[in-house]
Structures are given as C-alpha cells and as structure tokens.
Structure 1
Amino acid sequence: MYTTLISAADLASQLSSQLSSDTGRNWIVLDCRHDLMNPDAGQTAYDAGHLPGAQFVHLDQRLSAPKLSADGVFRGRHPLPEKEAFIQTLRDLGINHDSQVIAYDAQGGMFAARLWWMLRWVGHAAVAVLDGGFPLWTAQQLPVTTALPAVRIGNISPQPSLVGQVNVDQVLANIDTQECTLIDARAADRYRGENETIDPVGGHIPGALNRFFKDNLQADGRFKTAPELNAEWRALLPDPGKAIMQCGSGVTACHNLLALEVAGLPGAALYPGSWSEWCADPSRPVAR
C-alpha cells in the first residue's frame, strides 16, 4: 500500500500489471492538473494527454464546495465539501474501500496533495501522490493517452478520519495561546502582502511562519528525501502534533502536510479556510 508518494517507475509497473490481469488490487489514477488563474487549463491538459486509465478531477468542481455557506457566509476560495458529497464523488470515480488511489498534477503536487489529504480525511489510507508528477512521467517517456477510461461505480464508505483540522475560531484563539505553530504555505510575496493579484487583502495571520510549499521539492520536481525534509521541518516545528498548516485557500497547505508525512513527522492539522477565509472578515488581525 502506498500512503505518501509513488515513483513514476513503480506506478508504470503497477499499471502495466493491472492492464495485463483481471485480478489484483483496484488502482485508480486521478489527474488533478489545475491553474488557479485559468480554471479550464486542467481539463485542456487532460484532453491533450494523460496517464493511461486516469480520470480528470477538477479542483473547483469536485474537490471544493461553494464559497458561500447556506447562510451566506464566505468560507474561503476552496472550502471542503460535505463528506457525504465527497464520498459520492469518490464512488463516481470508481473508488472502492480497497482501492489504491494515485493522484498527480503538473505543479509539483500542489493540487494532487489536496486530494491526498481529502481521501485521508474520509479515512482512506491507500492514497499517494505521483512523485514528480506529469512532467517527470513524460520526461521518462512513459505512456500517455487521450483515451477515456471505463468506470464502474465504487463502494467506498466513510471511515474514521486519519487527519486533523481546525476552524477559524481555533486559529483566532491560537494567536493568544500560541499553543500551536502556524505555518503559511504561500510564496513569500503573498505572505508579506505584496501580491495583490492573488491576495487583494495582503499579509498573514499574526504569528504564522512561512514555509513555501515548493521548498519541499528538489530541482526536478520530486520531493526531497525523508531525512532532508525531517531536518528542515524540525527546525520549524518543535512538536508536529501541535502545528497548523494553512495557505491561501486550503490547497497548498496539504503539500506541507504531505511533506511532513514523508519526513516521518505526522500529526499537524489543516486550516481549510486559510487566508482567503481569514481576511474576508476585517475584524480579524493581519500581520505584514
């Protein structure tokens, strides 16, 4: 069972074995490519070519809920869907309780990690991110297709969650208590409040430290080794079990959570609303 990362070579071998046999574990491959500035880019890229058997999963349409709650409160740019709705999405993708799920993107895992976390959120441990994603897959001249896979409805059901999360009130309270270390996964200019294109209200949550998600990666787009990540994260977190990961909208924060799992430092929680929810209320404090 793969629970964090899988190499391109290992995935290619597994997919080849699955195609040549009707028995064995049910492997589901999901294409999570996306562009925050061009929401149609992922589907366009998928249509042009994807991993054999992969299905496309749109961040906005299948991995997020509406930005406004039923009572009209803004919940952030990518709030989590209701668990029941997400389970139905997973069934529609053919995922069973014993499926091995692999997620990939072309952005260093920033979107695939969101799906990885969400599957763990509903208690499914057998999910991993393709290390190096689509760019490394194609660089190794592994097969790509435009064919659409046949999909059967899956039987996955919710299980006890494998991850933790916090809400905006808990993050607000933490400013005073400092019980948890808060890590912001956005780029440094966004953290400092210097990128008004993406963050019209600039800055960060008071007390938050900055660890850009791309700092988890090597130059070729693969994750750094477990010892490297362990050393870097231990310098930031005295206790990973008392840490909160956030970003712009609860997406790239999952990349940091995945890196912590790879490093052998589990236990941090996600703040799903993140900066986009936080800054929507002008009464909440902002640091720059």
Structure 2
Amino acid sequence: MKFVVNKEWLFEQLNNQQVKIVDCRFDLGNPDFGEKRYQESHIPGAYYFHLEKQLSGPVVEHGGRHPLPEMEKFKQDLEKVGIDHSKTVIAYDGGEGQFASRFWWLLTYLGHDNVYVLNGGFRGWVQAGFPTTKEIPEHEHAYFKVNIRKEILATYNEVKEIVTDGKKSSVLIDSRDPARYVGDIEPIDKIPGHIPGAINKFWENGLEKGFFKSKEEQKKRFAEIDQDKPIIVYCGSGVTATPNYIALKMAGYKNVKLYAGSYSDWVSYEGNPVEKGNENAK
C-alpha cells in the first residue's frame, strides 16, 4: 500500500475531478501563517484545512494541546469541499510532513482509504516549477459516510494500563526530539520527560528534505521492534507522531495506534509518572 505520491503524478491529476487536494500548511508559533500563505499561493484546486480550527478540537483540561476534532464537524468540513469515498485525496504542507500527515491520519481514522501525502510538500512543488494560483476553488457538496476505525486510536486508559502494568507486549514510541524525550528541555508542556517505558524514534528521521524515506530505510529505523507487537506512537500533542505512524506502516507494521492526546494529555493528569533520561533516545 502506498502512503505518499510524488509531485509529477499530482501535476498530471490537476484537472481530474476525482482528485481532491488539501493544503495543510501551518506554523505552531504563528497560527495564521499557513492560511495567509494559502491565500497568497497554493496548488491549483487546493482547499485549506487549518490545524487548530479544523484538524483539532477545542483545548480542555484533558485531551492534549491538539485534541481530535469533533468528528461530525470534521465530516461537514470534508463534505463542503466535495470529499466523499469516491475521491482520491492528496494532502500537503510546507514540506515538513507533520501537518499533512495529521490530515492523512484523521481521514484514515474516519474510514477513507484513498488518501495520500504529497512527498516534498509545497516547497518541493514550487522548486520543481509546477504551477500555483491565488484562486480559491468554490465549495462543493458531497456526502461522507463516517466509518470510525477505532483500532488505530489508542485511548488514555489504554496507555495508562500499559504503564501501570508494565506491559512488555506493547511498544510505546515517543516521536519527539531526543532532548525533549530525555527531559533535558521542555519548551511547551509543564513537566519534562517521557511516558515510562517509551522508546524514542524522532519523527524527523523518517524524512529527508521533506520526502519520506523508502520502505527499506523505514524498516532499518524500526529494526529492533518486533513486527508482531502492538505499537502506540505519541509525541507532544498528536501531530508529529503521525509521520512516524505512516513510517511504521510503510515498514510493514500492522498493529499501530496513535495516542492522539500524547504527552500533553499524559501530564495533564496529576500523579502520572514521568521518566527522564534513557539510552533509547534516537
């Protein structure tokens, strides 16, 4: 199964009504950045989806810094741009990979099969000299039938049980920068460190210059992890873990879940244990 498409393929599909394009550009430090860039220039036919307005729900006490959106609202947002199960959907961001991957995971969670990330993102598209536009496409209407895939979402209680019982049958993967994993720095969340027992696989190591590495290279990244073990990936808030989710699937792992609330959800509960340090930081 493919998870990404190249820019050459997408260029050939620009007039294909069965292909929908979604612009997910975003800057965590400047929430208006992506939408402004979209209004200035985007891939022809692309619709904009905002990380915090459409790909996340309101922040509350628990659920993390980017909780999952309310699924009925997200469904309606998809329908407004003509996305239904007959459409092939291509998501892109600036070339970082995590924002398009978040959209990919959400659409997959809702039961859609034909969704892909544009390798190289908008940066790769522009560098190749492919066309851009300021023209914003008109809204369409479609009916999207939701078929939630609960098997790809890990709940807080599931993670809590793994930590409390010390289960070795499941693998927790922390996707953050190694310095945050070991607890040397923590610029956002209130407690530095990681969920006890988690190993570190920095999500950026699965990409090179905005392009997902090959299936063989992803297999090497996760070589020490048993293919038959259940895996739960997390990050700070459920965004940068999604490229690791895709990378694991590329490498052939079948039983992979996203802990959407991630570390920011874990530390929102008083008394939850946190580990610092670890030779498993990579």
Q: How would you bin the TM-score normalised by the shorter chain?
A: over 0.9
Give the deviation of 1:77 after TM superposition.
0.6
Q: Which residue of structure 2 aligns with residue 21 of structure 1?
A: none
Report the more deviating stretch, 239-248 or 109-118.
239-248
How much identity, in percent, do the aligned residues show?
38
1:141 pairs with one of 113, 116, 129: 129
2:38 pairs with one of 23, 46, 50: 46
Deviations 1:122-151 (A, max 9, x none): 100000000011111111011111110112
Q: How much is the aligned-residue C-alpha RMSD, in angstroms?
A: 1.6
Q: Which residue of structure 2 aligns with residue 79 of structure 1?
A: 67
- Is the contact made by 1:3 and 1:125 (CA closer than 8 Å) also made in structure 2? no
Distance 2:111 2:159 in 1: 24
Residue identity opposite 1:46 in structure 2: Y
Residue identity opposite 1:74 in structure 2: H
Q: Specify every segment of 5 or more residues in structure 2 that has no aligned partner in the other structure, as ranges.
A: 277-282
Structure 2 CA distance for partners of 1:140 and 1:198, relative to 1, 3 Å:
same
Structure 2 CA distance for partners of 1:259 and 1:162, relative to 1, 3 Å:
farther
Match of 1:234, SS state, is: coil
Q: Which residue of structure 2 aligns with residue 33 of structure 1?
A: 25
Q: Which residue of structure 2 aligns with residue 171 of structure 1?
A: 159
- Is the contact made by 2:51 and 2:99 (CA closer than 8 Å) also made in structure 1? yes
1:129 pairs with one of 87, 104, 117: 117
Distance 1:121 1:196 in 2: 30
Distance 1:137 1:240 in 2: 37
Distance 1:28 1:189 in 2: 38
Q: Which residue of structure 2 aligns with residue 275 of structure 1?
A: 263
Distance 1:164 1:256 in 2: 13
Give the deviation of 1:49 after TM superposition.
0.8
Q: State the aligned residue count.
A: 274
1:224 pairs with one of 213, 217, 235: 213
Distance 1:227 1:154 in 2: 38
Structure 2 CA distance for partners of 1:203 and 1:38, relative to 1, 3 Å:
same
1:1-288 aligned at under 5 Å gives the runs 3-15=2-14, 17-18=15-16, 26-68=18-60, 73-161=61-149, 163-175=151-163, 176-218=166-208, 220-235=209-224, 237-239=225-227, 241-288=229-276
- Is the contact made by 2:237 and 2:260 (CA closer than 8 Å) also made in structure 1? yes
Distance 2:242 2:151 in 1: 11
Match of 1:85, SS state, is: helix
- Is the contact made by 1:193 and 1:199 (CA closer than 8 Å) also made in structure 2? no
Give the deviation of 1:107 after TM superposition.
4.0
Match of 1:128, SS state, is: strand
Residue identity opposite 1:208 in structure 2: A
Q: Specify every segment of 5 or more residues in structure 1 that has no aligned partner in the other structure, as ranges.
A: 19-24
Give the deviation of 1:108 after TM superposition.
2.4
Residue identity opposite 2:203 in structure 1: F
Distance 1:241 1:91 in 2: 36
Deviations 1:136-190 (A, max 9, x none): 1111011111110112112111125285111112111112222210001111121
TM-score, normalised on structure 2? 0.92
